[in-house]
Amino acid sequence: MLETADSEVDARGLRCPMPLLKAKRALNALAPGQALAVLATDSGSVRDFAVFCEQSGHELLFSEERDGVYRYLLRKV
């Protein structure tokens, strides 16, 4: 997943809403079509990223949880 990303946000250890806020800031710096990888440990981020992508139009390409770390791959529209 990370090798396909143009940028990465490591939000492990941060609580809601910080993972999403850091991701939004990173997406603002990307060009349309570029991808952002996000690592988070906050279980609330699952819902946050799904709703954010639905509302913003950005694509949630990948989402998984492994060993307490949530991994996301988003594409900027």
Whether residue 16 lies in the annotated active site: yes
Separation between Cα atoms, residue 20 and residue 22, nearest integer Å: 5
Q: How far is CA 14 from CA 4, 10, 25, 30, 55, in A?
A: 24, 9, 15, 22, 23
Q: Which entry of 16, 18, 30, 60 is annotated as an active-site residue?
A: 16
Rounded (5°) CA angle 60-64-66: 155
Catalytic residues: 16
